[in-house]
Amino acid sequence: MSKPVLIIGGGPAGLSAAHALAAAGRKSILVEKEDRLGGAPILSGYAKLVPSHEWAKDAIGAMVTRVYPNPNVDVRLNTSVQKFDGTPGNFVATLKDGTQIEAETAIMATGFTHFDSINKPEWGFGTYPDVVTTTQVEQMISSGKGVRCPSDGRVPDRVAILLCVGSRDRQIGREWCSKICCTVSANIAMEIREELPNTNVYIYYMDIRTFGLYEGEFYWESQEKYKVKYIKARIAEVTSDGKRLLVKGEDTLIKRPVSIPFDMVVHAVGMDPNVDNMTLSSVFDVKLNRWGYIDRANTYTTLAQTSRPGVYVCGSASGPETIDDSIAQGHAAAMAAMTFQNAKVTEAAE
Ligand SMILES: Cc1cc2nc3c(=O)[nH]c(=O)nc-3n(C[C@H](O)[C@H](O)[C@H](O)COP(=O)(O)OP(=O)(O)OC[C@H]3O[C@@H](n4cnc5c(N)ncnc54)[C@H](O)[C@@H]3O)c2cc1C
Ligand code: SF4
């Protein structure tokens, strides 16, 4: 009988891989460092997801209950892999408590880390309590408390959402686009307008990347139905006049400096490489790419292959990714892990 597949990370990508393996009758061991499954959408309390408009707790919650409990999936919470030895087909992973696990192959679904806005101090986070992140606004909505200024609990009259915070910013070493934050921000803007129809919402952007089919449903809908206003700008700083926050910069369409008052400023934070990636790279002996995400060995042949044979990667562990693409990659990684022995036989015969 074949050994189980070791999956590290219980977010959308890892849950998808575990479910695909279980549906095919294969055993897996799912190792998650936190005390809950679900990854960022659950751990960070996202509200309604794009593009489905389903609540994260329902949509991702349903993914969790498919694999936990499931007789084919052995879930280990609150732990991580400390050592990973052996060769494909015969790996041995040592967990934090010293437990050793034998595995045929491994799938790294270890995800990303939210950009910490403290690294963009000129945009006011950490200085002014009413400068918050998209994650915090998601939590305000999902908790049912509603969108309020943290400083005094008042309903904001004017909200600014600043895009590309911690993305597309070479000055702080983050040149990648985080793919989903334009669409998430348009969605949040619509949710604020729905909850608070008297609140004006502005989105500051370099350019808008509501890619593919999201353009109509989020970018245009937010303007035409919800009257969200878009300002193409280079932001210099977020300060305060003592009463309100001031977003200062240059309107790059009219090429004039602008300084506009707001009650709340929201940073649309990007997706950094997982802070654990240096450790993961060393434990699993897999290469990272030049941005610090787990490298894929090839783009087309085996979508999920890392630099180490028998070890696969999926989801945002290998770069900024949406939930649906992370789920698709989880399936791809499961398929690669399941067919590993066959692939070896085929390669040997060629
Ligand atoms: C503010 C914000 C809102 C977003 N909203 C949406 C949206 O509406 N729709 C959408 O499609 N996408 C959205 N995204 C993107 C979405 O969060 C990702 O696509 C998704 O979380 C990726 O899933 P994942 O499983 O690859 O990674 P993650 O969700 O990051 O899950 C990784 C899991 O691995 C665990 N882990 C990490 N390191 C280790 C380790 N060393 N050992 C063991 N376990 C480990 C983590 O605890 C976590 O449970 C949003 C992103 C942001 C920043
Ligand atoms: S998706 Fe939009 S907000 Fe996010 S990094 Fe790309 S351009 Fe910026």
Q: Give the start-to-end residue ranges of the domains of the chain.
A: 5-111+274-349, 117-270
Q: Which atom of ligand 2 is nearest to the CA of 185?
A: 3
Question: To test the ligand 1 pocket, which listed residue (7, 16, 28, 32) has its Cβ within 8 A of the most ligand atoms?
Answer: 32
- Cα–Cα distance, 263 to 200 (Å, whole number): 10
Q: Is the shortest distance between the CB of 179 and ligand 2 below 6 Å?
A: yes
Domains 5-111+274-349 and 117-270 fall in the same CATH topology: yes
Tell me the C-alpha distance between 255 and 242, whole Å: 27
Phi then psi for residue 119, to 5 deg, are: -80, 5
**Where do we find the tokens 């593009």?**
51
| C-alpha 342 – ligand 1 centre gap (Å) | 31
Ligand nearest to the backbone CA of 134: 1
Question: In a mutational test of the pocket of ligand 2, which residue from 168, 206, 222 has the highest number of ligand atoms less than 8 Å from its CB?
Answer: 168
pTM, two decimals, is 0.96
Q: Which tokens hold the place of 119? A: 């690294």
Measured in degrees and rounded to the nearest 5, phi and psi for residue 131 equal -95, 115
Distance from C-alpha of 49 to C-alpha of 172, rounded to nearest angstrom: 28
Assess whether the C-beta atom of 109 lies below 6 angstroms from ligand 2: no
Nearest to 307 by CA among 326, 334, 285: 285
Report how far ligand 1's centroid is from the alpha carbon of 113 (Å): 8
Superfamily holding 5-111+274-349: FAD/NAD(P)-binding domain (3.50.50.60)
CA of 125 to the centre of ligand 2 (A): 19
Phi, psi angle pair for 93, to nearest 5°:
-105, 135
Query: Which ligand 1 atom lies nearest to the CA of residue 320?
Result: 19
Q: Which residue's structure tokens are 């990303």? A: 112
Residue 326 CA to ligand 1 center (angstroms) comes to 9
Residues 6 or more apart whose CB falls under 8 angstroms from that of 323 comprise 12, 41, 49, 60
Beta bridge partners of 271: 114
Burial track 261-295 (b if 16+ CB lie within 10 A, e otherwise): ebbbbbbbbbbbbbebbeebbebbebebeeebbbb
Cis peptide before 69 (omega within 30 of 0): yes
Contact 21, 70 (CB under 8 A): no
Q: Name the CATH topology of 117-270.
A: FAD/NAD(P)-binding domain (3.50.50)
**Quick one: pLDDT at residue 340?**
82
Per-residue pLDDT of the chain (350 residues; tens, 9 = 90+): 689 999 999 999 999 999 999 999 999 999 999 999 999 999 999 999 999 999 999 999 999 999 999 999 999 999 999 999 999 999 999 999 999 999 999 999 999 999 999 999 999 999 999 999 999 999 999 999 999 999 999 999 999 999 999 999 999 999 999 999 999 999 999 999 999 999 999 999 999 999 999 999 999 999 999 999 999 999 999 999 999 999 999 999 999 999 999 999 999 999 999 999 999 999 999 999 999 999 999 888 888 999 999 999 999 999 999 999 999 999 999 999 999 866 655 555 55
Nearest ligand, measured from the Cα of 6: 1
Packing angle, helices 56-67 and 12-23, rounded to 10: 40
Q: Copy the structure tokens of residue 169.
A: 């910013």
User: Quick check: 262 and 159 in contact, CB under 8 A?
Assistant: yes
Is-contact 92 247, C-beta < 8 A? no
To test the pocket of ligand 2, the residue of 50, 165, 177, 206 to mutate (highest count of ligand atoms within 8 Å of its CB) is: 177
| Closest listed residue to residue 234, CA positions, set 215, 261, 253 | 253
Residue nearest to atom 4 of ligand 2 (CA): 181
Is-contact 8 14, C-beta < 8 A? yes
CA dist 270 and 62 (Å) reads 26
Contacts of 14 (CB under 8 A, 6+ apart): 7, 8, 30, 32, 39, 107, 109, 314, 315, 330
Rounded distance from Cα 177 to ligand 2 centre (Å): 5
**Ligand 2 pocket, residue 268 CB under 6 Å:** yes
